[in-house]
Structure 1
Amino acid sequence: MTGRRRWTTEEILDTAAELLRTSDAESFSLRKLAAALGTDSSSLYRHFRNKTELLRAVADRILLGAADGYRPGGDWKQRVTALALRVRDAFGEQHQLAAVWGRYGSGGTGSRLLMEELLQALRASGLPDEEIPARYHRIVILIVALIASDAGVGTVTPAEYEQGMEQFRVAVLGADPERFPALAHFARDIRPLGADRGAAFEEILAAHLDRIEADLP
C-alpha cells in the first residue's frame, strides 16, 4: 500500500502563499491548506504549531525575496529608501500577505536581514546609538502602514473599484457648497484614495527621513 505523500516545508509554504493570493488571512485555515495539498491538517502540525506560525513563515519568505540580491549603496537615506521600496514591491505581488505581515509580524531570517540593514543604515547616519531603536521603530511602523494601505487597495476587485469611484464622484463632485464649502472648492482637484500611491509612499518616507536628518547632532 502506498503511503501518503510527505510534503516539505517549502512546498507547504508555496501552496499557502498561492491560497493567500485569492483569500484573506481570516478565511485562510490549515484545513483549507491541507485540502489543497491532498492531506489532513494533522500532518501540517509537524511543520507548524498553528495557523499564526504558518502565516508568519509565509510572510517571512516575502521578506527573504526582498532581501535577495540587495546590496547597500548610497548614503543612509538612500539605503533605507531602497530597502523600503524592495519590500513594497515584494508585497505588491502578494497583497493579502502584506496584511498578514502588518498583523502578525515575522521573526524569521528575512525579517532579521531587513532589521540588520535598517539598523546599520541608521548607524551610518550618525545618530547616537541610544536614539536608534526608537527611530528604527518609527520607520518600521511607517513602512508597514504604507505597505498595508497599498495592499488594501490592491485587493479591491474591478467591480468594487468602479463602485467606489462612483461613490467618490457623488461624495466629492456632488458636495453641497453650503455645507461643505472647502470640499466643493477643491472637488475637481481631490483625487481618489488609490491614485498616485507609489509617489505618495516615497514622499511620505522621504519627509520622515528628512526629519531625522534635521535632528542629527
Structure 2
Amino acid sequence: MAADGRSGRRAVGLSPQRIIEASLELLESDGPDKFTFRALGARLGADPTAVYRHFRDKDDLLLAIADELLARTLESFEPAADWRETLRVLCLRMRKVYLAHPHTAVLATVRTTRRPAEMRAVELILSALTQAGFPPDRAVHYYRALVDFALSWSCMAATYAALDAGARSGDESAWGREYALAPAQRYPHLAAAAPYLPEVDEEENFALALDLMLEAIAARAGKFRAEEAGERTPAS
C-alpha cells in the first residue's frame, strides 16, 4: 500500500466510487458550504490531493456526484409498455432520490453531467417520446420541457427540505394560521379556499402536476399524429 502525499496517510482502496459516496455523505452532513477537498480527505482518511488522481477539480467531482444521483434513479429501472408510465415512474423515482439527498440535489439539479447515467436517462426519455409519436426534432423539446419541470420541482422541494426545522415549521403552519385569518372582503377566493390549503400534500401535488404535464404531451402527440396523417392523405 503506497503512502499518500505529504501526510503519509495511506489511501487504501481510494476509488472514484468511494470518493463519490464519501462526498454524498459529507454534503448531507455538513452542507455544500463546507464541502472542500480538505474535509473530504479527512472523511476518506487520505490526503486531499489524492482526490485529484481521480477528478480534475471540484467541479469535475460535482458532475460525477450529480450523475450518481441519476444512476441511483435508474437502478433496476425497466421501461413500461406505456410511454407515459415510463416517464411518470422515471420522474417520481428521480424526485425520491433527490429528496433523499437534498443538500446534494440543490447542486445537482442544475447541472448537465455529460456522463453515462445522464445519457441513459436521456435515451430512455427520448425513446418514450418517440413511442408517443414524435420525431427527434420535436421529441427534444418535450424532453427538455418535462425534465426541466421535474428537476425544477425537485430542486425546490430539496431546497425546502434543506432549510432548518424552524423555518419549515413556520412555513407549513402559515397555511392554517395566517392564511386562515385572511379577510374575506379583501381576499374572497382565498378565504373560501383557506380551509383546504393545509390539506395539500406535496407528493400528491407533484404527482398531479406530473400527470397534467404528461396529459398535455399526450394531447400534443395525438394532434401531431393527426396532422401527419392528414398530410399523407391524398386530396379528394
Q: TM-score w.r.t. structure 1 length?
A: 0.88
Aligned position for 2:212:
207
Aligned position for 1:198:
203
Q: Which has the bigger relative contact order, CA under 8 A and spacing at least 6?
A: 1
User: SS of the counterpart of 2:32?
Assistant: coil
Q: What are structure 1's unaligned runs of at least 5 residues?
A: none
Aligned position for 1:138:
145
Query: What letter is aligned with 1:188?
Result: P
Q: What are structure 2's unaligned runs of at least 5 residues?
A: 4-8, 226-236
**Aligned ranges 1:10-89 → 2 under 5 Å:** 10-89=17-96
Which string of whole-angstrom CA distances, capped at 9 and with x for unpartnered residues, describes residues 106-132 of structure 1? 222111111110011111111122211
Relative to structure 1, the CA distance from residue 165 to residue 207 in structure 2 (aligned partners, 3 Å threshold; closer, same or farther) is: closer
The answer on whether the counterparts of 2:175 and 2:197 sit within 8 Å (CA) in structure 1 is: no
Q: Percent identity?
A: 25
- The number of residues matched between the two structures is 215
The answer on whether the counterparts of 1:88 and 1:147 sit within 8 Å (CA) in structure 2 is: yes
- Rounded to whole Å, the distance in 1 between the matches of 2:38 and 2:163 is 26
Query: What letter is aligned with 1:198?
Result: E
The answer on whether the counterparts of 1:21 and 1:94 sit within 8 Å (CA) in structure 2 is: yes
The answer on whether the counterparts of 2:73 and 2:97 sit within 8 Å (CA) in structure 1 is: yes
Query: What letter is aligned with 1:203?
Result: L
- Rounded to whole Å, the distance in 2 between the matches of 1:137 and 1:64 is 19
The answer on whether the counterparts of 1:56 and 1:100 sit within 8 Å (CA) in structure 2 is: no
- Rounded to whole Å, the distance in 2 between the matches of 1:105 and 1:32 is 25
Shift of 1:133: 1.0
Match of 2:132 among 104, 125, 133: 125
Which string of whole-angstrom CA distances, capped at 9 and with x for unpartnered residues, describes residues 91-146 of structure 1? 23211222122122322211111111001111111112221111111111011012
**Aligned ranges 1:156-167 → 2 under 5 Å:** 156-167=163-174
- Rounded to whole Å, the distance in 2 between the matches of 1:89 and 1:118 is 18
Aligned position for 1:5:
10
- Rounded to whole Å, the distance in 1 between the matches of 2:164 and 2:206 is 22
User: SS of the counterpart of 1:183?
Assistant: helix
User: SS of the counterpart of 1:49?
Assistant: coil
The answer on whether the counterparts of 1:62 and 1:90 sit within 8 Å (CA) in structure 2 is: yes
User: SS of the counterpart of 1:188?
Assistant: helix
The answer on whether the counterparts of 1:16 and 1:58 sit within 8 Å (CA) in structure 2 is: yes
What do you get for the CA RMSD once the two structures are aligned?
2.2
Relative to structure 1, the CA distance from residue 80 to residue 167 in structure 2 (aligned partners, 3 Å threshold; closer, same or farther) is: closer
The answer on whether the counterparts of 1:92 and 1:151 sit within 8 Å (CA) in structure 2 is: yes
Which string of whole-angstrom CA distances, capped at 9 and with x for unpartnered residues, describes residues 58-102 of structure 1? 121121122121111121111111111221222232112221221
User: SS of the counterpart of 1:215?
Assistant: helix
Relative to structure 1, the CA distance from residue 214 to residue 168 in structure 2 (aligned partners, 3 Å threshold; closer, same or farther) is: closer
Aligned position for 1:185:
192
Q: TM-score w.r.t. structure 2 length?
A: 0.82
- Rounded to whole Å, the distance in 2 between the matches of 1:107 and 1:133 is 16
User: SS of the counterpart of 2:53?
Assistant: coil
Relative to structure 1, the CA distance from residue 48 to residue 22 in structure 2 (aligned partners, 3 Å threshold; closer, same or farther) is: same
